[in-house]
Structure 1
Amino acid sequence: MDHTAGVFSRNPYKWIKFSKAWYTPSLHQGVTTTGLSPLVVPDTNAFPKRILYPTDYLPLANPAAEAILQAFISNLTSLFNMTVTEFNFTATVQNGTDSRVNNLTELANGPIGIIDSYTQWEVVAKPLITRWAELYDGRFPPIDSARRDGWHTYNESYYTAAAYQSALEQKNLAVEWYETNIQFSTAESCSESIFLYDIGTGGLPSYREEDLNAYPNTTLLAVKPEGAAITGANICPIYGCADYTIPIGQVRYWSNVTFHEEWVPVTINMVVKRGCDFVLLNLIKKLADKGVLKTVKAGRAAF
């Protein structure tokens, strides 16, 4: 399936408690589904030693938001004795010599596209479309526009069981490469680094009314940064890492809807090696204990 269940919480402690409970081993997907090694999730304080700051995804688009991120990074380095490594993620990956694991565009559009599509079609789309046509004189079901064209033109001769198995094998190779070259375990750390990137709006407003996003200092959602091969949101679907979005502050902006100064949240994504989810959750708890991360309020202001 190409949709993943998730949980939102205003309170970091409640979020951590729920997230840990959700990792019941009986709910882990098996290796035949993931194509990866069995998931092992140690609950330890083997925290990362480095912060990876990808210059192709950062800084945040709004300088005021970047100042909040830099203060957050400063807290990480001081509380956990981490160092910061700036690097270009896209160049680091694509300078590799194995196109099966180093071509980000091919990975996102090829094997990940097949993995996303195949089970969705087999389990949901095909049975629904077939039964709907039987019940309603050959009609196509009234599904959301985001899926309509893809389901209507789905090519079963391309998205085959063999292609799906090959895609799983290629993803496993990519994960093995990533966990050797980008985020890896050491004797001291489950994930030697935390990778930071922005899945949000970089501290800029993004309006539901699309025309308003033509104004200066606005943005669309899920923008691929200039110089990056893929959006940040595609990194962990390819390489199997654990990716959490954390609210770290808020900045002012002038609203073209209320014609008044409003607040927009600032978030950052914290990424660790696959299986180090609890270690990241434990780190986030310590950040909450120190007051670095706070409960998000309801209303016009998050904090």
Structure 2
Amino acid sequence: MALNNSSFLIVDGISYLVHPQPLAKITKPLADSHPIPAVVLTPGGAVSSVDKALRLIDQFASVDDVYSQSFSGTVVLQIIIGSDLGGFLAQFEASGRFSAVYHTAPSTSSNALPPGPYFLSQDSIHQAYRLYEDELDSFIFGVIPEDVLNPKKWYSVLHSLSPSGLWNNIAVPSRLYAKKNPEKPLAGSRMGIKDIFRLEGTRLTMMSRPWTELYGPDEKSAEYTKKLIELGAVIVGKTKMTSFASPEEPTDQWVDFHCPVNPRGDRYQSPSSSSSGAGTSLAGYDWLDFSIAGDSAGSVRAPAPCSGLFSLRPSFDSTSMKGIPLNSPIFDTVGQFGRSLDDLHYIVSHTFENIHRTYSGFPSRILYPREFYPLANAKQQALTEEFIGIFEDFLGIKRTPFSLVEEWEKNPPKEAHGMSLLKYTEKSAFWALCYDYYHSFDQFRHEYRAKFDKDAFVTSVVGFRWHIGKNVTAEEYETYLKELEVFREWFNEHIMGSDSKTLSNAILVMPYGEPNPEYRDDPSPPAVTFPTITEKFISPVLHAPQLVLPFAQMPYYSRISGRVEVRPIASTLIGAKGSDLMLINLATSAFKKASWATSIQTGRYMYPLANNTRNAGPVTANAPITYETKRNAIQKIHEELSMADQPRYSLGKMAQLLGHMFW
């Protein structure tokens, strides 16, 4: 793909990319060699007059962040075979409302471009991409498809810096180009994908300089990446992660690349590890709709509380992991972030295959494990009590306190041979994970040494886990897998399991996230091992979904900003395998009954301050606009255009309805 200086320009103070692919021709070439902004319209129906066309153009600013006022100075009329070309041209040219009027050669309606902002270059029409600067340093690079009409194929890295020269630009196309339909439910949704997802034509960096020295661009996309694109998603870039998706913390453990900036609070809090860029980008950028990541032992669940986002580690084996370098084939899943529960439900329901199960009610038990409660921080515990309380109120039940250790003692599996739960599972999860982690990169280490005659550099965190994995024998690994299977079967039988009516016969409440400040310039503690019975391993071992629900903001005095800031506080729900969507629906229903917000805003605060003790009160007029709301608004424009002969309401009424929205 050839991009040159003329491909980048500024209109109304906004930076743009002119996509190099010509989509259609105008009959009269431009007098100027430089690209100019224009709106493309198809006369007829809802655009049967200049006034109606102007009303439609006025709506573009309400629903599309790519459109700006200067696009309306020039209009391109797409002429459909059989339409009154001369009549339309005469109307628009005589109106005096446009500095220039162009038209295309007659074509069929099926070939017509969607209405919206474009650029004209010589005699061709090109898509307009707005350039946003990645000032949070969340992306490794931005990408654009070489063929916007068939984005399943090759992608190119966007080589463009912000006007300051400090940050990479990320390019996003107009939202008006895409129309959602049953085959393309994600049409136009802008997504960042974590660096573990291969994308044809771009590099997988693994955030490791030795990796980038060894491997070039990928020739195939990961299966999940291809699925997103086939469903209509717009991949805008690859988000940063820790090297080899390890649990590195900023800043001293990030060596080859620099850690993204967490937009919450004083902007100097840790975004946590692994899927850090996926979290910071969605928490910081309104122009991004979804952020796709992955989870082994906390890679999605840990960043969610830090960045103040809803997230789901789904049931194990919910979708294909082909084309993704795995830390562990027994733990790894794709994971999702969302700024609202509705958005999270939408992306999960449309991209995972093995979770679409019907249910007729919600679970009748709330499990409260005493191994994890009460929390050490009294304020966090008090907030958690409120959290559990809204589920007790919604379900009409009280929590069931219990002890995993005591229940094991009451009904010990025979395979444990009398050992306690903590002793039997002491090494099962972490040592098995490290074995997989080490051997998953055997080929990389071998190829790097063969090519460069030296060992590849890895950080102390990666090296610590690889050292453990290297020393686990194959026999020990099989023993650990058996121990995990025994624990999983015991848990499903005695603690929480599947249910034909509710999918899960209980929900398990589990903590996640730290209540105290975690400054990114604090020295990080050395890497350590973890027992199996911890918040990070329970759901992976059970193959169960875990839903992270940020619901409060805790104040702290920042030594960085010298003022009071707030940090997100979250709790989580775990259900039986396959109960993913039920968990999201349950949380949505309970939050709404309690008048708790189900949407989160970007920036310093998750929620407006001072609404209540949690600073997370009811959704107000200032609440964030969700992805689904944006898509529905744009869908109304497409419907108005396609149903012009039987309009449900006038364009003027639609403008009134949508005028308060977005951007």
Find the residue that maps to 2:335 and give its secondary structure. Answer: coil
- 1:66-215 alignment, distance < 5 Å: 66-93=381-408, 96-98=411-413, 99=416, 103-110=421-428, 112-122=429-439, 124-137=440-453, 139-151=454-466, 154-155=469-470, 158-160=472-474, 163-186=476-499, 188-201=501-514, 203-210=515-522
The CA distance in 1 between the partners of 2:409 and 2:445, in whole Å, is 40
SS at match of 1:173: helix
Q: TM-score, normalised by structure 2?
A: 0.38
For structure 1, which segment, 101-110 or 185-194, has the greater mean C-alpha deviation from structure 2 after superposition?
101-110
Q: Residues of 1 paired with 2:479 and 2:536: CA distance?
A: 23
Identity of paired residues, percent? 21
Instruction: Determine helix, strand or coil for the equivalent of 2:509.
Output: strand
Residues of 1 paired with 2:436 and 2:523: CA distance? 36
Change (3 A) 1:260 1:302: same
Aligned pairs, number = 274
Compute the displacement of 1:104 (Å): 3.2
Deviation at 1:106, TM superposition (A): 4.2
Task: Return 88-97 or 173-182, whichever deviates more.
Answer: 88-97
Contact kept, 8 Å, 1:94 with 1:104, in 2: the verdict is no
Q: CA deviation at 1:114?
A: 4.8
1:95 Cα deviation after fit: 5.6
**Does the Cα contact within 8 Å between 1:105 and 1:230 map onto a contact in 2?**
no
Unaligned runs of 5+ in 2: 1-326, 608-663
Give the direction of change, closer, same or farther, for the CA distance of 1:177–1:68 in structure 2 (3 Å limit). Answer: same
* Higher helix residue share: 1
Distance 1:69 1:87 in 2: 17
Q: How many angstroms does 1:270 deviate by?
A: 0.7
Whole-angstrom distance in 2 between the partners of 1:108 and 1:19: 33
CA 95–129 in structure 1, closer or farther in 2 if over 3 Å, else same: farther
Q: Do the aligned partners of 1:107 and 1:238 also contact (CA within 8 Å) in 2? A: no
Task: Give ranges in structure 1 of 5+ residues lacking alignment.
Answer: 26-39, 214-221
**3-state SS, counterpart of residue 5 of structure 1:** strand
Q: How does 1:11-26 map to 2 (within 5 A)?
A: 11-25=340-354
Q: Quick one: which of 535, 541, 546 aligns to 1:232? A: 535
What displacement does 1:132 show? 0.4
CA distance in 2, matches of 1:153, 1:192: 37
Shift of 1:262: 0.9
Paired AA for residue 177 in structure 1 = W
| Residue pair 1:223, 1:231 contacting (<8 A) in 2 also | no
Q: Of the two structures, which has the highest relative contact order with CA contacts closer than 8 Å and spacing of 6 or more?
A: 1
Q: When the two structures are superposed, what TM-score results if normalisation uses the length of structure 1?
A: 0.77
**SS of 1:280 mapped into structure 2:** helix
Deviation string 1:93-136 (CA, Å, 9 cap, x unpaired) is: 456534279533542513x23542344334x3100010001001
CA contact (8 A) 2:362 2:586 kept: yes
Is this contact kept in 2: 1:48–1:82, CA < 8 A?
no
Aligned twin of 2:266: none
1:278 pairs with one of 578, 581, 602: 581
Specify the alignment match of 2:334 in structure 1.
5
Say which SS state the counterpart of residue 334 (structure 2) adopts. coil
| Contact 1:8-1:15 at 8 Å conserved across structures | yes
The CA distance in 2 between the partners of 1:278 and 1:206, in whole Å, is: 32
Distance 1:294 1:109, change over 3 A: same
Helix, strand or coil for the counterpart of 1:140? coil
- Taking the aligned partners of 2:339 and 2:401, their CA distance within structure 1 comes to 31
**Matching residue within 57, 78, 82 for 2:372:** 57
Is the contact between residue 61 and residue 204 of structure 1 (CA under 8 Å) also seen in structure 2? no
1:295 is aligned to 2:612: no
Is 1:251 paired with 2:554?
Answer: yes
Q: Is the 8 A contact 1:69 1:248 kept in 2?
A: no
Displacement of 1:143: 2.4
Structure (1 or 2) with the greater strand fraction: 2
Q: CA deviation at 1:179?
A: 0.5
RMSD of Structure 2 on Structure 1 (CA): 3.2
Aligned partners of 1:223 and 1:79: how far apart in 2? 39
